[in-house]
Amino acid sequence: MRTAVTAAFSTLIAAPALAGEVVLSVQIPRLDVSEYHRPYLAAWIEGADGRALANLAVWYDVRKREGEGGAKWLKDMRQWWRRIGRETEMPLDGVSGATRPAGTHALRFDAAAAPFAALTPGTYEIVVEAAREVGGREVVRLPLAWPPAAAEASVRGKDELGAVSLTVTP
């Protein structure tokens, strides 16, 4: 009896570790400019038809000072704003957050949880857009086949983004 309970309990503990995972890694380069500002960044899932399906991350200046909230600059991320941003009420729990400093940042998602759990079999794109005050704007796209199979994709930005990679484990 004790062995059966231990075996069953071990399965419950190990099950989350065996779940599929989607990892989006985004490198923000440190630019050698006189006036440096951290970029606003948005990442979302697009269907094969180009329709935005879900936000993955939105990094912006979340300060709430009177008349100085960073949300008014979200429209500088033009593709995100046109596809999904203008319908998104910010802040968005679990998705929005503060801008990040230069360096590499990993976003981890459970493949069995939202927003990935709602995806039907097919091809999608993970889109990452960055815009910086007194700087430029850049968009990169990574392919995603669903349901998840072990896959990796990477692309390198030119100015506002460095290496951006997607790793999917089933």
Whole-number pLDDT of residue 15? 43
126 lies in some domain: yes
- 124-157 residues labelled b (16+ CB within 10 A) or e (exposed): bbbbbbbbbeebebbbbebebebebeeeebeeeb
> pTM of the predicted model, to two decimals?
0.84
Report the number of distinct structural domains present in the chain.
Answer: 1
User: pLDDT tens digit string along 99-143?
Assistant: 899 999 999 999 999 999 999 999 999 999 999 887 889 999 999
Write out the residue range of the structural domain in which residue 117 sits: 18-169
Q: Which of 46-60, 83-97, 100-114 has the lowest mean pLDDT?
A: 83-97
128 lies in some domain: yes
154 lies in some domain: yes
Q: What is the CATH classification number for the domain harbouring 140?
A: 2.60.40
Q: Work out the pLDDT band at 14, boundaries 50, 70, 90.
A: very low
Report the C-alpha gap between 170 and 147 in whole angstroms: 8
114 lies in some domain: yes
